[in-house]
């Protein structure tokens, strides 16, 4: 018999986190609690340093993160969205240019493209791994295409071998959106290290999450890294001397110090995510639902465990009544949202995206989720799926 955690809870917001869920989808507070000693010491160190913006902690994080990914340079910025926009700025992409990305992603990916005045061209994902379809990408490239942004969705590396082959043939730079895939890899190469530039959000719920907004940009190109450092701070070559227009997107030392603590635990935290995902996939493999697949020769970061099933809303309501949180990433593809409905995409070319967005649901998965909670989720999901 399934273990019912609690009755009488308020229902989930539509496609959002459940109110008062005993087992939430994500739990950044659990990370802070388990690492509280190290995080408190790091915060105290920053407070006493007297340097709070782009100081020692930011510089040290940039070195640590670049080393972790195996790249030459990392640049700390205010958010992942800013990171994508700055990456495009560093490539001189702006009005009149087109950037190809997917519609099954956070709106931030497209918002960043439009922040620089470029136009987003939306393409479909593959049915098995939910990442950019190389075939759809190749069909969308034209003379106005200036960059491609594949999204490593849910922690799964996109098909970078094919994407890079196509883009190399057309001499188009690739900017990886690795915001859900800190620590993921493909063929032994880290997500973020395969394209010309990689961008990561460090929003609190990410695998590598701050306690506020934060982002990191990585590259092996020294000139691009130098330009990114200028662009994040008014285009300054040195203080109060702007050699090009820039913005204010500086990473603060408090967030950097917290991220340094968490980075030292990232592999262990990702290993726990993997363990939970394998328990789920083993338990649900023979049930009327599609468990997520893992691309061959890759390491999945399991930012999100997305189950695919019919009657998703009813399933979410039943889990909510038992105190188990669910979420949907993403219920509304970008091309269906009012703000972006006129963006260019090929007619009937986003069928897989629309199909998946109607069926996927995210189950609880986070590094410090205890075994009892995992068992509760398994028992209740199994009972509901088996009717």
221 and 141 within one domain: yes
Q: CATH number of the domain at 207, please.
A: 3.40.640.10
Q: State the Cα–Cα distance between residues 41 and 322, nearest whole angstrom.
A: 38
Q: State whether 99 and 176 are in the same domain.
A: yes
Q: CA 73 to CA 65: how far, in whole Å?
A: 9
CATH number at residue 377: 3.90.1150.10
| One domain for residues 231 and 319 | no
Alpha helices in 6-106 (DSSP H): 28-34, 36-49, 56-69, 80-90
Look at residues 263, 287, 312 and tell me which one is the last residue of a structural domain: 263
Structure tokens at 209: 């999450």
Domain assignment present for residue 230? The answer is yes
Q: Let me know whether 273 and 225 are in one domain.
A: no
Cα gap 362→356, rounded to integer Å: 12
* Same domain, yes or no: 272 and 157: no
Domain assignment present for 55:
yes
Q: Considering the domain boundaries, does residue 16 fall inside one?
A: no
Within-domain flag for 353: yes
Domain end call among 200, 234, 263: 263
Same structural domain, 332 and 366:
yes
In a domain, 167, yes or no: yes
Residues 299 and 174 in one domain: no
Would you say residue 11 lies in a domain?
no
State whether 150 and 230 are in the same domain.
yes
Task: For residue 261, give every residue at least 6 positions away whose Cβ sits within 8 Å of its Cβ, in sequence order, or none.
Answer: 35, 38, 39, 42
Q: Which domain, by its residues, includes 360?
A: 265-385
In a domain, 3, yes or no: no
Residue 18 forms part of a structural domain? no
- Same domain as 184, residue 98: yes
Q: What is the pLDDT along the chain (387 residues), one digit of tens a residue?
A: 344 333 333 334 444 444 456 899 999 999 999 999 999 999 999 999 999 999 999 999 999 999 999 999 999 999 999 999 999 999 999 999 999 999 999 999 999 999 999 999 999 999 999 999 999 999 999 999 999 999 999 999 999 999 999 999 999 999 999 999 999 999 999 999 999 999 999 999 999 999 999 999 999 999 999 999 999 999 999 999 999 999 999 999 999 999 999 999 999 999 999 999 999 999 999 999 999 999 999 999 999 999 999 999 999 999 999 999 999 999 999 999 999 877 766 656 899 999 999 999 999 999 999 999 999 999 999 999 998
* CA 152 – CA 343 distance, rounded (Å): 22
Total domains in the chain come to 2
């Amino acid at each position: 018999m399934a273990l019912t955690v609690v009755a009488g809870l308020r229902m989930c917001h539509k496609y959002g986190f459940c109110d008062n869920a005993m087992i939430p989808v994500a739990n950044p507070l659990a990370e802070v609690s388990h690492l509280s000693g190290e995080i408190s010491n790091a915060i105290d160190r920053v407070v006493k340093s007297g340097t709070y913006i782009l100081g020692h902690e930011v510089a040290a994080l940039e070195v640590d993160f670049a080393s972790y990914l195996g790249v030459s340079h990392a640049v700390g910025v205010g958010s992942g969205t800013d990171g994508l926009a700055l990456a495009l700025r560093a490539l001189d992409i702006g009005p009149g240019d087109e950037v190809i990305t997917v519609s099954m992603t956070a709106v931030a990916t497209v918002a960043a493209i439009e922040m620089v005045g470029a136009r987003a061209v939306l393409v479909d994902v593959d049915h098995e791994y939910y990442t950019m379809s190389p075939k759809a990408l190749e069909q969308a490239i034209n003379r106005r295409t200036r960059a491609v942004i594949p999204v490593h969705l849910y922690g799964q590396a996109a098909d970078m071998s094919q994407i890079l082959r196509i883009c190399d043939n057309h001499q188009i730079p690739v900017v990886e959106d690795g915001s859900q895939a800190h620590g993921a890899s493909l063929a032994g190469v880290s997500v973020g290290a395969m394209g010309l530039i990689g961008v990561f959000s460090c929003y609190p719920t990410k695998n590598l999450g701050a306690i506020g907004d934060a982002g990191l940009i990585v590259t092996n190109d020294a000139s691009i890294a130098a330009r990114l450092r200028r662009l994040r701070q008014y285009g300054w070559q040195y203080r109060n001397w702007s050699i090009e227009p820039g913005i204010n997107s500086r990473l603060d030392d408090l967030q950097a110090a917290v991220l340094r603590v968490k980075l030292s635990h990232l592999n262990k935290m990702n290993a726990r995510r993997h363990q939970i995902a394998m328990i789920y996939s083993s338990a649900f493999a023979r049930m009327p639902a599609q468990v997520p697949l893992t691309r061959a020769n890759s390491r999945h970061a399991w930012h999100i465990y997305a189950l695919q099933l019919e009657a998703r809303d009813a399933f979410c309501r039943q889990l909510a009544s038992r105190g188990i949180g669910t979420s949907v990433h993403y219920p509304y593809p970008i091309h269906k949202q009012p703000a972006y409905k006129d963006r260019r995409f090929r007619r009937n070319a986003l069928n897989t995206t629309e199909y998946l967005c109607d069926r996927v649901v995210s189950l609880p998965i986070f590094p410090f989720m205890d075994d009892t909670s995992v068992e509760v989720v398994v028992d209740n999901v199994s009972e509901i799926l088996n009717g």
